[in-house]
Structure 1
Amino acid sequence: MPSHTIVPGVDCIIKIGGAAITKKDQFETLNGAVLENVANQVRQMYADGIRLIIVHGAGSFGHFQAAEHGICSGGFPTASHSATLKGFAKTRLSVTKLNHLVVSVLVKYGIPAVGVSPLGSWTTENKKIVTDGCSHIAALLSHGYVPVIHGDAVIDTALKCTILGGDPIVTRLCQYFRPRIGAVFMTNVLGIYDKPPGTAVGNISTDYYGPDTSEPKLLREIIVDDSSRTWTAAYLMNRREIDSIETSALEHDSSGGINAKVAEAVDMVMEGTRVRVVKAVLQFSSVICWFMLRKPSGLDLLAVSPFQWIACLGLGVAGQSLNAGIFNAIGHAGVYYGFKLGHKIPWVNGFPFNVVSHPQYVGAVLSVWAGAALVWSQAPQGLGLLALYWTGLYVVTGCMESCS
């Protein structure tokens, strides 16, 4: 980057995982509900003056075509040049189709989003970025637009072509723009686990804390060593640390799976960027992103009043007791994290089913308000509206289940 170049200020770079906004195991299938939820969160951030760059993965768009024609490695050795060219074109047609869908939803929510394709300005050599389009993105930002970049098929000077995933794009953007708040990765699961949490999208957020210790466990944080670039991770539920995780990737995934994502996140941290991973559809991720983006300095616990602590603990204990009652009764932990529209809970005699109607939703609402009570005095304007949004959403969902 030339020394005279003026780089527009960027607050946050958001990476929307392809597995979150598409059904990754179903060919070119959009997950519209999640995309709408993400767009609503982005609208709140944009309305508050948060300067954003959005990057999204391909999910079920492009990966199938890329895998079929070996585009990630420049085409199959036995394939004709013509076949590789056609595969490259089919891959790009698919990923740009998804970019158009994402941008369309963002524009519908009042965001001046413009799609940006890496092909033409981003090139690689043996899959490593050698030229980028950051100056083009900077020009869009300086005119008030929200750039929306996607993973793409690009020209590789050594391999002739390859796949440039969204994660290395985010890394390069962080190096160029130095986002004030950091990078937020919105995924289809609650975060990073010590082993693959499952392949069935419908069950992706259930049964993590069952009695079987071999089940996937959520990691609280990943700590990077500055000198060796190695990392260790700590569990969410205890302080025990590990230095490796089991990983997997779908057969058609051309982006490298979670291994590549962790490696890119380590590079971002080494460059001084704070990285957070949240679930795109989760109500708590909305609250977390909302508070983090508006008050990056965090919460001053010493400034929390006794009344706030009492309200937080009271609501939190009440909410989590409902969730714990459900878990103990049916062994289903998914109700800890958001709603499952149309989810049928079997008849159970005992607390909380014979005390509270729709206890899974009441527990979630009480937990949201517990968090709101804790940060209320330090939160910027709008926290009450956000909590009311989730309350209304759960009320409507409960009514829909009652009528089904």
Structure 2
Amino acid sequence: MGESTQVDVIIKLGGSSITEKEQLETLKLESLRQAAALVHTCVRQGLVCVIVHGAGSFGHHHAKKFGINDGSSHLPPESQAQSRIGFCQTHLAVTKLSHLVSDCLVENGVPAVTVSPCSTWKTRNGAVETSCIQPISDLVLQGFVPVIHGDCVLDSCKGSAILSGDTIIKCLCSHYSVSRVVFLTDVDGVYNNPPECEGSTLLSCISVSPNRHLNVDIGTSKNECDVTGGIMLKLQSAIDIVLNSKGLTPVFVCKIGSESAKEACCDGKITSKSGTVLHLENS
């Protein structure tokens, strides 16, 4: 499967959209079922889909407690031993969530297969050094829907790191020709300020200039349990996807279960009043 291979849609299931992020290992089952039904609709229409999901309350709490993203190579031996246990607990938690996601997808008629990055991807100071795309390619070629998740991985400098789902999506977009990326979240889209703030406004369209400038100002907040950078890193990932594809891959941000989510995933456009699309300036 080469660079010219077409993937119709990469769907990111945000950790906050499918889990109760403040409650340890707690699933939002109805939201997950809505997402699974949508993926089934995409598959039924013949779309080539790849699913990536965040860790939510199944990974961030463990990763934060043990400082997995800070690495372990600088620690004394006894602390390194404890860090390895934390690494294992984090990995077990995210694979537990991925099993639940894939199980729900299969129940909805989606031929979903989980692909864990832990033993096959590697970072260097947090940046991807080794990616393992071939198993994902092989599954797509045989008509399966790969399910990849954020995970803890080995880091050649720090010892350990967190590989976010957003970073995985950027890597996939650099290998494949992707028609669109859809981030399914727990809010209606991207707002000019955190949606819980009074007077915040939903942004239906965000244009990105070649120098990474946005046509709007966006204020953000960060959940203290989120070890992958919060909404700002997600926006930066979306900008990277748009720019690296020279505008060929727009990025949609929609609420899980919404009409805009269905339109973005199935049609690559939004006509309803919710949802946000990021695209290249003048494209």
TM-score, length-scaled by structure 1: 0.63
Give the aligned residue type for 1:247: T
What is the distance in 2 between the residues matched to 1:251 and 1:5?
39
Picking from 176, 185, 188, the partner of 1:187 is 185
**1:106 and 2:89 correspond:** no
Match of 1:267 in 2: 240
Match of 2:200 among 192, 216, 225: 216
What is aligned with 1:377?
none
Instruction: Tell me, yes or no, if structure 1 residue 20 matches structure 2 residue 4.
Output: no
1:131 aligns with 2:130: yes
Give the alignment of 1:20-39 within 5 angstroms.
20-39=17-36
The percent identity for this pair of structures is 39
Q: 3-state SS of the aligned residue for 1:231?
A: coil
Q: CA deviation at 1:68?
A: 0.2
In the alignment, is the contact (CA less than 8 A) between 1:8 and 1:142 conserved in 2? Answer: no
Question: Measured at CA, do residues 48 and 218 of structure 1 come closer, stay the same or move farther in structure 2, by a change above 3 Å?
Answer: same
Equivalent residue pairs, number: 269
Alignment of 1:171 with 2:144, yes or no, is no
Correspondent of 1:276 among 249, 252, 261? 252
- Distance in 1 of aligned mates of 2:138 and 2:11: 18
Q: Greater strand share, 1 or 2? A: 2
Query: Would you say 1:285 and 2:261 are equivalent positions?
Result: yes
Structure with the higher helix share, 1 or 2? 1
Contact 1:188 1:281 in 2 (8 A): no
**TM-score, normalised by the number of residues in structure 2:** 0.89
Question: 1:229 deviation in Å?
Answer: 2.2
- The AA in structure 2 aligned to 1:291 is D
Per-residue Cα deviation, 1:208-235 (whole angstroms, up to 9, x for no partner): 7xxxxx5322112222111x222232xx
Deviation at 1:250, TM superposition (A): 1.7
Query: Unmatched 5+ residue regions in structure 2?
Result: 275-283
C-alpha contact (below 8 Å) 2:3/2:175 kept by paired residues: no
Q: Distance in 2 between matches of 1:229 and 1:288?
A: 23
Alignment RMSD: 2.2
Q: Tell me the distance in 2 between the aligned counterparts of 1:285 and 1:11.
A: 15
Compared CA separation, residues 288 and 261, structure 1 to 2 (3 A): closer
Q: Amino acid of the residue matched to residue 206 of structure 2?
A: I
Q: Which residue of 2 aligns with 1:231?
A: 214
**Cα distance change on mapping 1:131 and 1:288 into 2, 3 Å:** closer
Deviation for aligned residue 1:18: 0.8
Question: Partner of 2:280 in structure 1?
Answer: none
In the alignment, the residues of structure 1 paired with residue 5 and residue 93 of structure 2 have an alpha-carbon distance, to the nearest angstrom, of 31
Does residue 247 (structure 1) correspond to residue 220 (structure 2)? The answer is: yes
Give the Cα separation in 2 of the matches to 1:91 and 1:119.
10
Q: Structure 1, unaligned stretches of length 5 or more?
A: 199-207, 209-213, 234-241, 300-315, 317-335, 338-404
Question: Which protein has the larger Cα radius of gyration, Structure 1 or Structure 2?
Answer: 1
Asked if 2 retains the 8 angstrom alpha-carbon contact of 1:8 and 1:138, the reply is no
Alignment partners' CA distance in 1, 2:75 and 2:203: 40
Which amino acid counterpart does residue 208 of structure 2 have in structure 1?
V
Q: Deviations over 1:254-306 (max 9, x none)?
A: 110011001111110012221111111224432443333xxx6x99xxxxxxx
1:310-325 correspondence runs (5 A): none
Matched letter for residue 190 of structure 1: D
3-state DSSP of counterpart to 1:140: helix
